[in-house]
Amino acid sequence: MTIEAIILITISAFSHAGWNLRVKKYHPSPAFFLLANTLGVIFFSPFLLLVESPFTAFTPRLTIILITTGFFMALYMYALAGAYKHGNLSLVYPTVRALPILLVTFFLYIFTSESFTTLYLIGIFFIIAGLYLHWGNPGKTTFISRLNPHTGLYVILAAGGVAGYSLIDAEGVNLLVKLDFFTEITAPLSYIIFQGFFASLWLTGLILFNAAERKQAKTILVNEKTSIMMVGLIIYATYVLVLASMLYVENVGYILAFRQLSIPIGSIFGWSLLKEKYNLNSIFGVSILLAGLIMVALG
């Protein structure tokens, strides 16, 4: 990797962990995510001007993909808010980053003929071991012993959302890349803006039927403009940084591996800035988890 790629990915890792810290610390709610995501989409939508007639790409197939991936992104945001409301950043963040890899691998193994390298499978083992250690409680047995019922449910739903859009997005981006007026950079950038738009529509639908969230949205919009603008911009700026870093590498796998730097950063934010409890098991678990994710990315 070039020094330019390393700098861009390092910034994106801190940014990703940073907006999660901001959400956890201030307003872990679906209403907050709706407002932040919508502002992010609006701010970055001018990038669509880089493409000639981008909306002509909306074939029936792509529209179905975007509606579906928008739902999974909305589910991720909705559930992540719930997980942060009931659980610690240092526990929730690494798990929601890692668990989707296990879900996607399980799906591909059951429903496709996808083959996995030895390094990939070793990485999966490390991820499972890392999660077990990180959530484990010495003297009590397990992973489950530290799972607040609410936190556990929301973490699984958030991971399911990530796994869902991860399985779909490759096909959606490839549909755009095949069109002459998209490039390998403008296709994923346009796709994430389209995806964010549909995610906001889904979140709006969910919140319309929740009086408490509607009230929360009004309060946040009046009192927390800076927070929602900051998080919304960082969510999409992080993705732009990742795309930009791809211009400086020959093997994208190195970027996927290096992006996992955000996991220990997120955990350290929780331990140091939010004063969340940790022990040697937590540190060891996050380290093994990081190693496993790097193996999976390179495998």
CA distance 111 to 139: 39
* Neighbouring residues of 128: CB distance < 8 A, sequence distance ≥ 6: 102, 292
Terminal CA-CA length for the chain: 17
Predicted structure pTM score: 0.89
Listed by start position, the domains of the chain span 3-298
Residue 233 contacts by C-beta under 8 Å, 6 or more apart in sequence?
39, 40, 43
Of the CA atoms within 13 Å of residue 261, those in its CB half-sphere come to 15
The answer to whether 176 and 190 have CB atoms below 8 angstroms apart is yes
One-character DSSP codes across 229-241: HHHHHHHHHHHHH
Helix (H, G, I), strand (E, B) or coil at 26: coil
pLDDT along the chain (299 residues), means of 10: 81 91 87 93 91 85 94 94 90 89 86 82 87 65 52 89 88 86 85 94 89 85 85 90 75 71 89 87 85 82
CA 76 – CA 196 distance, rounded (Å): 12
Q: Could you give the CA distance from residue 189 to residue 180 in angstroms, rounded to a whole number?
A: 15
Predicted local distance difference test score (pLDDT) of residue 80: 94
What's the pLDDT score for residue 222? 83
- C-beta of residue 57 within 8 angstroms of C-beta of residue 182: yes
Dihedral pair phi/psi, residue 117, rounded to 5°: -75, 165
Residue-level pLDDT at 34 = 93
Determine contact, residues 127/102, Cβ cutoff 8 Å. yes
Cβ contacts of 223 within 8 Å, gap of 6 or more:
none
Residue 53, sorted as left (phi over 0), alpha (psi -120 to 50) or beta, turns out to be left
